[in-house]
Structure formats: structure tokens, C-alpha cells
Amino acid sequence: METHKTKVCIVGSGPAAHTAAIYAARAELTPLLFEGWMANDIAPGGQLTTTTDVENFPGFPDGILGVDLVAKFRKQSERFGTKIFTETVNKVDFSSKPFKLFTNTRTVLADSVIVSTGAVAKRLSFPGSGEGAGGFWNRGISACAVCDGAAPIFRDKPLVVIGGGDSAMEEAKFLTKYGSKVYIIHRRDTFRASKIMQKRALSNPKIEVILNGSVVEAYGDENGKGVLGGLKVKNVVTGDVSDLKASGLFFAIGHEPATKFLDGQLELDEDGYVVTKPGTTKTSVDGVFAAGDVQDKKYRQAITAAGTGCMAALDAEHYLQEIGSQKVELGQVVRATPLTVYNGASTSTPFTVYNGASRSTPFTVYNGVSTSTPFTVDNGETTGRRETRCKWSPAEDVVLINAWLNTDKYIIVATDQRASSFWKRIAAYYSSSPAAASLPKRESSHCKQRWQKINDSVCKFVECYDHALRQRTSGQSEDDVVQVSYQFYFDDCKKRFTLEHAWRKLRHSQKWYSYISKCSKSSGSSKRAKLDEGGTFSSSSNTKSNVDEHAMARPIGVKSSKGEGEIVVTKTTNEENVVTTKITNEERESNSRSRLENLWALNEKDIAERNKLSRIELLRSLLGKTEKLSEKEETLKNKLIDEML
């Protein structure tokens, strides 16, 4: 069993599967696609391979053969880097992550899965219903009236629909647009369809019902063209067999979704279709998505399947961004055969470590993960298997951010200004949070390292977002701006931004914005981006170090302002007093001038707001007058309206 690891694994081979593969591959998710081998007795490509001309798929004004359309799907998927396996997935395990999928020869570990295995139309078997010699499948017999009903061979000809449910009523009503007469043959004396659907169908003068009937044979036309010419219908009550001339027969007895291999691990409806959340392709298992006919029992069209395939790929991409999935090389073999090492070189026998006269027990390494118990290394120290690194989840990030936002550095107590003490308090807050009860335990060093990464990445993304806002054009939504910001971030950092949850948490925090403003000023770096001038963002190298050195920026107090010119006494190692001046008179005057300018700017803004309010009141009084306005008042009113607009 060869094992692969991927971000996205797609199961299916129709328009939904290949559309998802194209979108996922273009998003650099390096998907794996399993198209199956005669899965559900259908060749790779699904139901499109069982039809002839496809005339209602955009881009092909002259129509295209179903098998040719599927071949184009496949070629386009491979062009963008999708790895396709012609193997059938016969078992899955969605109980833990990464998800596991199994074929006869491979095992796949996937961060996300898109199920697009489709549904198979149910067909009746009787002489003349099959393919090949003597059969009229795709030559007058079909299982999709919407797909094939408009074909020339059915125009102005008598047509037959077999079935008794809502689908049969709907397809019969649809076929009245093209056929001269439409017969509904049902083997029972009553229909299963809803009353409203029966009423709509049976009230149509072109529709005629044959109850207690069963088709026992199909035969060709009199001209010998090899197409359907008529049916032999048996009355199941009396046993009489009658002849019915028809140029088209459509099965409408339901579809069977290909969901057996899921073994009940996804929520299904009463008909076996995968249940998805309205407006999305999300299933009952987070990270598993469904697209195409496997979740659509209403439309069942190639174009709608392709649309949901696109939705599934976008949903999967967003999900991977949320969980911060690490990049995995396409088709990476995780554990195909045991890898053994001796002195850094591959060997066929297990690796044994020597330490003088002592000798440890052999152990085997599978792609860097030891399967042995603790072993002795060269310096004589005994160590065990290295623990698996526990990645931070979005939920943990949110708890950490809350801990940072709600933990201040003490202004007076000098001992608590130390970074180590501050991060111990952060870790204590994190551990005591109810939201962290079910999350892994984190030490202060873990919190510090994670915060540094969050702060650095989000700072960069904020600059990219501000740049995207300045370039925003008419008609662009908030989501469009965010997507542009993602592209700016990727262009500058050469990696994807995976901390959107952290950005959304911090973007409205006044404390965080004050903090990064102070850090950027104190860093004194000239490397900071000037996006106003059209440059790309480049973070200061001092950003991370400033995390530990600066508390939240606070407005200067009265005592601090008075004491700016006072002298500060510090004690040296030789216990000599050295007097230094904290700030020069020129700097003090500059600060005072800056404050006055800020106050004046605020005052000007306040005056402008008051003038605006007074003009609004004046306009309201003019509009409220019942008598006719004078010429001056009319001119003033129009001027105020123009200003407001």
C-alpha cells in the first residue's frame, strides 16, 4: 500500500470533480483526483459517457459528444497540475484528521476531501432496452428528458415516460414542448407523485396516462434506421399486451447516488444523497465537501454539477486557510516502505547506535519518525522518541489574542516590566480561559513565539489591506478587497496568509493599533513600506523584538509632561552618579508644537462639523416651510442641497 498526503483529495470523474480539480490546482492546492475504474458500472466520466451529443453545455454551439467533453475536462485538470489516479475509492475514514481514503493499492491522507461521485439513473431491463445490437439505448431510450428531450429525433413524435413520482410528472410536462404526444406509463393504479404535480401534468392535453402498465419490449422503426420505433406494453392486471408507437422512451424511476463507500460517515437524506448546508457544499463533517449529483437530486445537470464543483473547491480553500494547513508536495509518499539509516546512509538493516562498549536496541525510521523505544546516543544521554509538534489551531490563536489584549504590563512595578514575567501572565490567562479547557497546554515560551508570528504576519497583512482599500474601485465588495490583499501579501512574502481569523480579531483593537504604531516609531527602520507610493510591504526586522520591550502606548500624563525636562539619576556599576538630561529644550519645544498642531487640527474638524450641522438645520427649516419661499430663500435652499449632495 502506497501512502500519499495531500491538501485536497477529490473523489469523482464528472464535471463537478474536474471543475473542483481545476480550481484547486490553480489555487496551488495540488489536488489528487480518483476517477474510479468502472465504478457503479460506468466508465470514468460518469453519466456523460453514457450519452451521445451534449448540446446544452456552454462553449460548444455545435454540440459535443459526452466522451469528448469528459476528455477535455480531464486534459484541463492535468494541465494545471492535478494528479489523476484511475482507481476506485472503496473505503474512507472521516473519524479523525487527516482524513483517510483507501483504494486497492493506495492510502491517501488528506486535509480536506471533495466527494463528487455522482448518481446513477435507474434503468429497467427488457429486450431492446440495452446498448449494442438489438438495443436502443441512446437511440431513442434515455434516462434524462431535460438532457435529451430537445434532440431532433424526438421532435413532433410520440414519446413515453416510465415512472409515477414527481420526476416522471415533471419530465412528461417538459417533453410536451417537443413531442406530439407524451404517454406516462406506471405499473400501479395510482401515482406516488404529489397532488399538485399530478394536477399540473394531467391537466395538459398532450399527456395521456397508462396505469397498470409495464413495458416488456422495445423495437425499431419501420424504416430500418436503427432508432426506437415502438413499445410492447403489458397490462399487469389482465395480462394483455398492446403495441404503442413511440420514438422516445425516458426512464424516470429515480437515481441512486454513489454513496455506499461512505459507510454512513456523512449525513445522508432518505434517498441516500449527501446533505449539505444550504448555500454551501459543506457536509456534516468539517473539512469534507460534496459537489455534483451526489448532493443534488433536483437539477442533475452537467452545468450545475460544474458550478457546485467550483463552490466545493473554494470552500475547501477557505477551510484550509482557516486551519493553517502546511504545504505538502504533490504525491508525497509518507510511508511506502521502511526507511533505515546507518551513519547517515540508507541501509537494508535497522540502525544501531554504539556508545563505547554499550549498544542500544535497533530502531527503524519511517520518514524521520522513530518507531523504537528510548535509545542511547553518542554522548551517553538517553532520549525517547521526539514528540509530535502540536500546531496552533485558530481557536487557540483567538484565546492567545484575548490573553494579550487583556493583559497589560504594569507601569509602576518595574519587576513586572520584564518580558519573561509578562509572558508568564499571558500563559496563565491562556490556561485559565474556559475556551482553552479542551485545548493543548501551552507554556509561556510557546505563547511568546506564537504571538510573534501572529503579530508579524498580521502587521504585514494590515499594510496590504490598507493598500488594497486605496486601490478599491467601484463595485468591489469587502470580500473582493480581502482577496486583493491576499494577493499583495503573497506577492511580497512568497507565501499565503493563513491568519485571517487573527486579523479579524485584531483589526478593530485600539490597543493593538497603538502598540504597533509605537513599535514602528521606536524601531527607526527605513525598510518600512510606503504603500501610498505604490510600493510593496516590507516589515521592519525589529518588529518581533519590540513585542517584548514595549507595553501598550498610553497618552502622556500631566506629571510625565512636567517631568520631561527634569534630570534622571541612574546608578552605574561603580556606584557613581551620572546625571543625564532626558530630553533637550529643542525636543521639548518640538513636542509642544506637535501637540498644539494636533489640538488645532481637532479644533478645525470640530468647527467644520458644527458648520455642517448648522447648514443641515437651516436646510431643514427651509424645507419645512409651508408658505412659498422667496427668491433668496429658494437660492439658498438649492445651494445647500448641492453642498449636501
**Residues in contact with 385: Cβ distance below 8 Å, sequence separation at least 6, in sequence order:** 369, 370, 372, 373, 374
Contact criterion met (CB below 8 Å) for 120 and 40: yes
Looking at the DSSP assignment, which residues form a beta bridge with residue 121?
255
Angle at the Cα of 115 (from 112 to 121), degrees rounded to 5? 180
Q: Which of 53, 111, 148, 492 is catalytic?
A: 148
CA–chain centroid gap for 32, Å, is 16
The DSSP-derived string for 151-205 is: SGGGTTSEEEEE--SHHHHHHHHHHTTT-SEEEEE-SSSS--S-HHHHHHHHTST
Nearest CA to 554 out of 404, 416, 411 is that of 411
Spatial distance between the Cα atoms of 353 and 463, rounded to a whole number of angstroms:
52
The DSSP-derived string for 543-556 is: HHHHHHH-------
Nearest CA to 111 out of 37, 212, 5 is that of 5
Spatial distance between the Cα atoms of 93 and 108, rounded to a whole number of angstroms:
10
Looking at the DSSP assignment, which residues form a beta bridge with residue 346?
341
Q: Which of 9, 144, 459, 519 is catalytic?
A: 144
Number of residues assigned to the chain: 645
Is 548 a known active-site residue? no
Helix, strand, or coil here: 44? coil
Looking at the DSSP assignment, which residues form a beta bridge with residue 528?
none
Spatial distance between the Cα atoms of 27 and 4, rounded to a whole number of angstroms:
20
Is 390 a known active-site residue? no
Is 147 a known active-site residue? yes
Spatial distance between the Cα atoms of 622 and 628, rounded to a whole number of angstroms:
10
How would you classify the pairing of strands 2-11 and 332-333?
A: antiparallel
Q: Which of 53, 111, 147, 464 is catalytic?
A: 147
Catalytic sites, residue numbers: 144, 147-148
